[in-house]
Structures are given as structure tokens and as C-alpha cells.
């Protein structure tokens, strides 16, 4: 399958600082990128969907100013958690997909980033 690389795999930061997470599609063009948050033993909660070159579409309840998403190219999307607080500690995972046929049957995910805010 296709490869999506997410970096860093884990990060510890101080409360009030910002953290950037990168998501790269290595061998395909991700026209759409998804960002999820996953709490322990729970499902993946969609935070936002971004299409290359346009603004991200955020899910209800997700603060746009806190979770900044940029999808500047077909191979790179970033999530920046601004002014992080301990309640932002979680597992964040990105996914990439070609949203249009013939490769709309595929959606691949990065390894995830475990964020701990202290």
C-alpha cells in the first residue's frame, strides 16, 4: 500500500507552546488529507479535512484557531496545535487520499503522533 509518513511520532511540550505535526504522502498525491484525534481506547474523531490549496473544513466543535491546518501541496499537510494545554494531550493521526477516481478507493494513514503537554 501507499506510504504516509507522520512526524514526529511523539512529542512532549510545555503548556502554552505550539507544536507542529507533519504528514507527508511519500508515493502518491494526496488530494485530501484528514486529521484525527484519538483518545485511549476510543475511535478516531475527525477534526478536519483539507484539500490541497484550499482552506481546511473543520468538524463542529473543533477550534480552528487552536488547530491550524495547512495543506500547501499534494504531498504535505501540517497540523499546528497552538498554545497547547494539558487537555490537548492525545494521539493525533493523519490520513491521505486521492479523492477522485480511479484511486478514490484508497486512504492511507501515518503512524500517528502522541502529544503530551506538561
Partner 1 sequence: AQKITQTQPGMFVQEKEAVTLDCTYDTSDPSYGLFWYKQPSSGEMIFLIYQGSYDQQNATEGRYSLNFQKARKSANLVISASQLGDSAMYFCAMRDLGEDSSYKLIFGSGTRLLVRP
User: What minimum distance in Å lies between the beta carbon of 100 and partner 1?
Assistant: 9
Angstrom distance (rounded) from CA 101 to CA 81: 33
Beta carbon nearer to partner 1, 16 or 104: 104
User: What minimum distance in Å lies between the beta carbon of 16 and partner 1?
Assistant: 26
Angstrom distance (rounded) from CA 101 to CA 118: 44
Question: By CB under 8 A, is residue 103 in contact with partner 1?
Answer: no
- Residues at the interface with partner 1 (CB under 8 A): 1, 32, 34, 36, 42-44, 46, 49, 51, 57, 91, 93, 95, 97, 99, 104-112, 114
Amino acid at each position: 500500500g501507499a506510504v504516509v509518513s507522520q512526524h514526529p511520532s511523539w512529542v512532549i511540550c510545555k503548556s502554552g507552546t505550539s507544536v507542529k505535526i507533519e504528514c507527508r504522502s511519500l508515493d502518491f498525491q494526496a488530494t485530501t488529507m484528514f486529521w484525527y484525534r484519538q483518545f485511549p481506547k476510543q475511535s478516531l474523531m475527525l477534526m478536519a479535512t483539507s484539500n490541497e490549496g484550499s482552506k481546511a473544513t473543520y468538524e463542529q466543535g473543533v477550534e480552528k484557531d487552536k488547530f491550524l491546518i495547512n495543506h500547501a501541496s499534494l504531498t504535505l499537510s501540517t497540523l499546528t496545535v497552538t498554545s497547547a494545554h494539558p487537555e490537548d494531550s492525545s494521539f493525533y493521526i493523519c490520513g491521505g487520499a486521492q479523492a477522485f477516481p480511479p484511486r478514490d478507493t484508497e486512504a492511507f494513514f501515518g503512524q500517528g503522533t502522541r502529544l503530551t503537554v506538561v
